[in-house]
Every structure is written in C-alpha cells, then in structure tokens.
C-alpha cells in the first residue's frame, strides 16, 4: 500500500512540472516552469532543473512519451541558449515565464544554475540525440567559474551570486554587486562536481574549492554531523537528488551520505521533542524544512544552528517534502510519513500531490493551498530514486561526472 501512495505522489509531482511549464510553441519562455503556484508567471531556473529531471522520470514511468519529452527538453535548451539572461553562463534566478525576461531585479545565482545544469545533465545522459548533445555542450562550455572564485580566510570558495542592481534581490544597498560566498557546508555540494568536470578548471583548483568550505560539527542529542548554519532539511537532500553518494567517499574518507542520514534522524528527533509545542508533529510527522507557512514561505531551521536564538526559526509547519525528500536516507521512517498523511490528513493531497505545508492553528487544521516547484521536485526525484534509481544511474554514468569524480579524488567504497 505504501508504494502505491509513493507512486501516486510521484505521478502528481510530475504533473506539477508538466502543467506549470510554458509549453506554448514559439514562446520565448518555452520550457520555463513556475517557481510556485501562487505566482505562476514567476519562473525559476531551479524549478526548470527539477522539471528536466522529472521529464526523464516521467518517460521511465510511462507518464509521457519519449518523443514528447525530447521535444520539451530540446525547446527548453534553446530557450536557455537564446533567451535567458546570464553572466558568465550563470542564469538569472527568476524569469517571467511568458517571455524569459528577468523577473524584477533578480540575482544571477550559482546554486540555482547548478540545479538547472544537474537536470540538463540527466537529460543529456538519457536522450540519444546529436542536436541535443551539442546544445548541452554549449550550455556547459559557456559557464565560467573563474569570476565566481574568491579567497576567504586563505581558502578558495565560490561566490553565491551577482546582482548588477544596487537595490536588487539579496544585494540591498551594497555597492558591491557580488553577493556573499559558499564558505560553509550547505546545498552546494554538486557544484564542485560540475566545476571539476570542466576542462578549463584544473585539478588543483577544483580540489582547493572542494576543501575550501568549512566543515563544522554540531550535535543534537546523540546525533553528531557536519551541519549548515541554516540547518533546514533540504540542505542535506539537494545534491543527493542527483549524485549518488551511497557508493562514494570523499578524498579524505568522509561519508556525505551517512552525514545526511544522521542529519535526517536529528531532524526527526527535534520534531519529536517539540510535538507538544507543535501538535502537527509526531512519530510519523516530521521533516522540518523550508515551506509555505501561515506567515508565507519560511525556512524552518532546527538546532544546532548559527543564527540569532531570539528570532523565530521554526513555525510548526509539517512539509511533506521534508520526509519524502529524505526517503533514500531513512526509507522506513519516510514511507510512514506518506501513509500517515493519507490516513489522517487526506485533504493535504491535491492536484500536484501533497500540498506544501500543514499545521494546527487555533485547534484547526491549516493547509497551504499552494505548491512550490523545488519542494515538489525534491519529493519526486527522491521518491523515484528510492523506487527505481533512475536519476542516480543516469547522472553517475555521464562522462562529465566520471571525470569530476576522478579529478576531485572521490573513491568508490
């Protein structure tokens, strides 16, 4: 029964990326996908990355034909090659879905570009089409990591983003158009592989970048792991949606897969410890991460974290993508969450599967009636990796990733 629920959620998660995509022939925004259903004309390149991945999953699961999927992904590649604003090959985070123009004063984002490229790479591994391969090579070739490399505390790190607008997103009133840097462990792990796979980034620089971010150990109860200063669950999921860390250790023998297992168990323990305060939480209702709350989209950050302890970091909202996006790490516990939601909160399941968040407000059930692309993406991709391993097989078989693994010095177990 549980696998039936997971398969149903997988199909409806796929529908998000099929129905929320601009598939209008001749549109300059063809292939762009809504960041969320509340503002459908605001597309995000991260949604597109998950969408490209979900189209491949869709073909493998019989949700759409190979011919239609290839038509969509080829059209999407053409949109990115010709219509989406970029700097050094890094794309603007948000676009207008109708025409591909930059959305307001959005930044040019490294991590969102990486999520897009991860999806593009899966498609390149899957579809046997020469024109498609040539477009993929063009997309990858024009990404120039060098301007996004800086020194921080005598180590090489990637910059996070660039924004030419002084009052633009994440920049505020700063005179510097470069926005922050990846000096900490977060969701950027796959960035090091995409950078290392390029011939114009030498092995020494690639390894220095991988070794450049801080690995801070934190503990919750008996769970000790390398944690992110903003300790939400998606941190430990995103790179694992594509790169199969189950079979690889880093050059120093560190196990990133096990780190995510521990982080997931710590998240569950935190939820159990706080179920009196947040009654939606429980043994089969855990997985705090970024989602829509009654106060808007918020990042739910558990202990340990490096943020101001006097500010609100948890909103007591249960996001189904938290546990389901962690299903490769804790299979039995995560599947129980899906079963629990269907049994006790059937109204939490809508046209694109489970809604983004639910909670109890004044003894009444509150459910977000909106969906967020990246949350449906991590849900769908991780469920399929658990059920079928589609993306893991494709991503890890790509020559680009094989080259990166060797250059970075990762070893098979």
Tokens of 401: 């990733």
Tokens 């930059």, residue? 102
Residues forming a β-bridge with 292: 297
pLDDT at 19: 98
Rounded distance between C-alpha atoms, residue 123 and residue 65, angstroms: 14
pLDDT at 413 (0 to 100)? 87
24: Cβ contacts below 8 Å, ≥ 6 apart: 30
Say what the pTM is. Answer: 0.98
Q: CB 59: neighbour CB atoms within 10 A?
A: 19
Of residues 172 and 351, more confidence is placed in 351
User: Average model confidence (pLDDT) for the chain?
Assistant: 97
Task: Please check whether residue 243 is in contact with residue 190, taking contact to mean a CB–CB distance below 8 angstroms.
Answer: yes
Cβ–Cβ < 8 Å for 352, 15 = yes
Q: What is the pLDDT of residues 141-162, one digit of tens each?
A: 999 999 999 999 999 999 999 9
Which band of pLDDT confidence, cut at 50, 70 and 90, is reported for residue 1?
A: low
User: What does the pLDDT average to over 7-19?
Assistant: 98
Query: What is the pLDDT confidence band of residue 101, given thresholds at 50, 70 and 90?
Result: very high
Euclidean distance between CA atoms 11 and 383, whole angstroms:
10
- The lowest-confidence range among 1-5, 126-130, 139-143 is 1-5
Do the Cβ atoms of 335 and 247 come closer than 8 Å? no
Q: Domains in the chain, ordered, with CATH?
A: 2-412 (1.50.10.140)
Tell me: pLDDT of 114 over 90: yes
Question: Alpha-carbon distance 412 to 249, whole Å?
Answer: 6
**pLDDT digits 0-9 by tens, 232-269:** 999 999 999 999 999 999 999 999 999 999 999 999 99
- Sign of the Cα pseudo-torsion (155, 160, 161, 166, in order): negative
Would you say 116 and 71 are in contact if contact means Cβ atoms under 8 Å apart?
A: no
Residues 6 or more apart whose CB falls under 8 angstroms from that of 79 comprise 28, 29, 30, 31, 32, 100
Average pLDDT over residues 328-344: 97
Q: Tell me, what's the pLDDT at 3?
A: 83
- Predicted confidence at residue 194, as pLDDT, reads 98
For the chain, give the percent of residues with pLDDT over 70: 100
Q: Where are the beta strands (DSSP E) in 90-247?
A: 90-91, 94-96, 108-109, 149-152, 155-162, 178-181, 217-220, 223-226
SS3 179: strand
What pLDDT score was predicted for residue 342? 97
- The token pair at 262 is 């521990």
What is the mean predicted confidence (pLDDT) over 98-121?
98
Please tell me the distance from the alpha carbon of residue 273 to that of residue 154, in angstroms, as a whole number. 40
Neighbours of 21 (CB within 10 A): 23
Across 369-396, average pLDDT: 98
Nearest CA-CA partner of 306 in 378, 235, 208: 235
The torsion angles phi and psi of 402, rounded to 5 degrees, stand at: -60, -40
Band of residue 365 on the pLDDT scale cut at 50, 70, 90: very high
Evaluate whether 77 touches 124 at the Cβ level (below 8 Å). Answer: no
pLDDT digits (tens, 9 = 90+) for 285-333: 999 999 999 999 999 999 999 999 999 999 999 999 999 999 999 999 9
Cα-Cα-Cα-Cα torsion 248, 249, 250, 254, nearest 10 degrees, comes to 150
| Beta pairing partners, 366 | 359
């Amino acid at each position: 029964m549980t696998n039936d629920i997971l398969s149903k959620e997988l199909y409806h998660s796929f529908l998000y990326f099929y129905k929320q995509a601009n598939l209008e022939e001749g549109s300059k925004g063809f292939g762009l996908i809504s960041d969320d259903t509340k503002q459908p004309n605001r597309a995000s390149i991260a949604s597109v990355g998950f969408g490209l991945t979900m189209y491949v999953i869709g073909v493998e699961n019989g949700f759409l034909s190979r011919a239609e999927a290839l038509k969509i992904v080829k059209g999407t590649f053409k949109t990115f090659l010709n219509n989406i604003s970029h700097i050094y090959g890094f794309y603007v985070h948000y676009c207008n879905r109708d025409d591909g123009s930059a959305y307001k004063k959005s930044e040019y984002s490294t991590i969102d570009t990486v999520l897009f490229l991860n999806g593009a790479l899966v498609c390149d591994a899957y579809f046997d089409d020469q024109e498609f391969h040539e477009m993929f090579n063009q997309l990858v070739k024009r990404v120039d990591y060098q301007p996004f490399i800086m020194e921080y505390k005598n180590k090489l790190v990637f910059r996070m983003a660039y924004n030419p607008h002084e009052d633009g997103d994440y920049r505020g009133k700063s005179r510097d158009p470069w926005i922050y840097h990846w000096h900490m462990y977060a969701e950027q792990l796959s960035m090091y592989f995409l950078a290392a796979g390029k011939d114009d980034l030498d092995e020494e620089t690639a390894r220095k970048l991988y070794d450049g971010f801080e690995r801070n150990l934190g503990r919750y109860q008996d769970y000790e792991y390398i944690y992110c200063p903003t300790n939400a669950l998606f941190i430990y999921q995103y790179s694992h949606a594509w790169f199969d860390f189950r079979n690889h250790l880093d050059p120093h023998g560190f196990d990133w897969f096990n780190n995510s297992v521990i982080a997931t168990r710590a998240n569950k323990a935190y939820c159990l410890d706080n179920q009196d305060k947040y009654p939606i939480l429980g043994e089969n209702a855990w997985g705090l991460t970024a989602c829509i709350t009654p106060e808007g989209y918020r990042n739910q950050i558990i202990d340990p974290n490096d943020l101001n302890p006097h500010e609100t970091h948890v909103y007591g909202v249960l996001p189904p993508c938290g546990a389901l996006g962690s299903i490769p790490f804790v299979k039995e516990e995560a599947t129980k969450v899906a079963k629990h939601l269907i049994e006790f909160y059937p109204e939490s399941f809508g046209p694109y599967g489970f809604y983004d968040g639910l909670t109890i407000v004044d003894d009444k059930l509150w459910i977000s009636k909106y969906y967020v692309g990246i949350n449906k993406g991590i849900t769908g991709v991780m469920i399929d990796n658990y059920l079928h391993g589609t993306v893991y097989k494709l991503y890890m078989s790509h020559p680009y990733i094989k080259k990166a693994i060797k250059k970075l010095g990762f070893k098979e177990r």
